[in-house]
Amino acid sequence: MQQVTISGTLLSDAENCVDKNQRSYIRFTVTCGDNDENGRSIYTHYRCTCYIAGYEKMKKGDQVFVTGKQKIRLGQTAQGEPKINIDVMVFQISGGRRADQRNTR
């Protein structure tokens, strides 16, 4: 099994879903920034599926750390151009709140 750990930012709010067995899960996309060999910023997007309860209210911009099983597939855009889909079935997650939303006591 391939396992990947990702630290990144949500591109949009987590989407609440129900599978064919009536189990609740969320879907979200995490983006991770890096620099290419010329120093330019590049981003990789990971489409995540998560059955772990308690993260349903994650919002765009939240920072997360996820670990899961990675699956990479070649797909096509609507224009027929090749694109890579990177999916992660999440089995461990932390974060999910922006620093300005944390409770301080």
- The pLDDT assigned to 2 comes to 75
Q: Which among 93, 17, 22 is positioned nearest to 52, based on CA atoms?
A: 93
Helix, strand or coil, per DSSP, at residue 53: coil
- The pLDDT assigned to 57 comes to 92
Per-residue confidence of the chain (105 residues) as pLDDT tens digits?
779 999 999 999 999 999 999 999 999 999 999 999 999 999 999 999 999 999 999 999 999 999 999 999 998 989 999 999 999 999 999 986 554 454 433
- The pLDDT assigned to 64 comes to 95
- The pLDDT assigned to 17 comes to 97
- The pLDDT assigned to 99 comes to 45
Helix, strand or coil, per DSSP, at residue 29: strand
49 in Cβ contact with 69 (< 8 Å) = no
